[in-house]
Structure 1
Amino acid sequence: MGIIDEAVARGQKALSEYEAKRFLSEHKIPVTREELVVGEDEAIAAAEKIGFPVVLKANGPEIAHKTERNLVQVGLDGPDEVRTAYKTIVENLGNDTYDGILVQEMIKGERELVVGLVRDPQFGPCVMFGLGGIFTEVLKDTSFRVAPIEKYDALQMMDEIKSKAILGPFRGKEPVNRDLLADILIAIGDIGMDFGAVKEIDMNPVIIQGSEPVVVDSLIVLGNGEKE
């Protein structure tokens, strides 16, 4: 039984971030290196294995608004900082249910994109691409295609956003690897076609590290469930 089927069987309305990243990775979508841990010592060991600096996040299918609730600690540059961050996250969780703390590599890049999947009542699964990070909801600079999509469609989507210039040479940075980005968009469309239980995917941000996109955060909503 796969990740989606197992989550549905447990009655989950969404995957945890760790589950979502594992699922995306199975579909050859590049995600951050990370480990799910329980306990401060495990967190430190994972951070040393991944390499500093790291990010710590609360993980669980019912956990939302992680940034606003101070459940994300970034730029941790040593064991003492990891230990303190772990304690802070656990304290801020209070009585909330969680299944561990995610220790994640810190991806560095100035360009942030969003890739997603929505299910339209009329058209079915649709792939979304656009400017990501904190600007997604403000600028709404996005492009959509009905799934499944081909490489031609994916490349067109990149050229349709107003901020498409950031995909080229940007402040001395390399142009984005459009082939790899197209592969991600195609894979998301295929997931929409193949997994009816996946209602929505929100990969935001997808950070460009060097020239390559890496999924840093992801939400996958299941069935008719809603995650606020």
Structure 2
Amino acid sequence: MARAKISTNNHGPAIRGSDPWAPSAGKMHQLLSEEERARLAVLASIVRFDKGEEIYREGQRADAVFNIISGVVKAYKTAPDRSEHITAFLFPDDMFGLSEEGRYANSIKAITPVAAYRFPVSTLRRRLAKDADLEFHVICKLIHELRETQRHAFLLARKRAISRVAMFLQLLENLRAARGERTAEIYLPMKRSDIGEYLGMSLEAVSRAFRSLTTRGIIRNRDRRHLKITDRSTFDRIVGDTTNAS
């Protein structure tokens, strides 16, 4: 497990949740009140991870949960051949640390520099045992990682490669709106190979899908990390397409 750089925290964590597939994704849903966040603040430290740094590994003892302040992480499973199968990307305000029988259910790695609130499980458990409402809200936020895995399975059911890529871009767009960002551009913090692992596609297939969307004038790229949807009606039709055509 990577060693995190830790500093003390004097501010309450902003723990929020939203459904990026839902029409209301542009609205933030505050799960914790200011008072509840203040009660949690005394339990947390701030940890920082470098790009590419492993935060924890599947099967390790689950001794902490995390709430992202800045940056993006990926949750993944490791196959017997050591290949990674990404199940979720998690963004600022997301919480992760899902465990099963005291062991982490997934591996987590930073794909950008990451800062996060770290809550020791033992300390958090004692605090939540005394506050049922706070316990409910924290659990709701923590299972966001599980909901992302379920969304991932739904996305993989899309038959057309271009539809998978378009749906992934829609997810990023909705997350941007949920954070209150007004820019029309979609930011891609992850590599194309990570997108391929997430979508169950080869890097070549991901590149072909992006190239098709670009040459058809559906998206416009400023660079490999920033793009804009320029033909909304066609984009929306592709997102909703479930046919077998390539």
Q: TM-score range by the shorter chain?
A: under 0.3
Larger Rg: 2
Larger relative CO (CA 8 A, sep 6+): 1 or 2?
A: 1
Q: TM (normalized to structure 1)?
A: 0.26
Q: TM (normalized to structure 2)?
A: 0.25
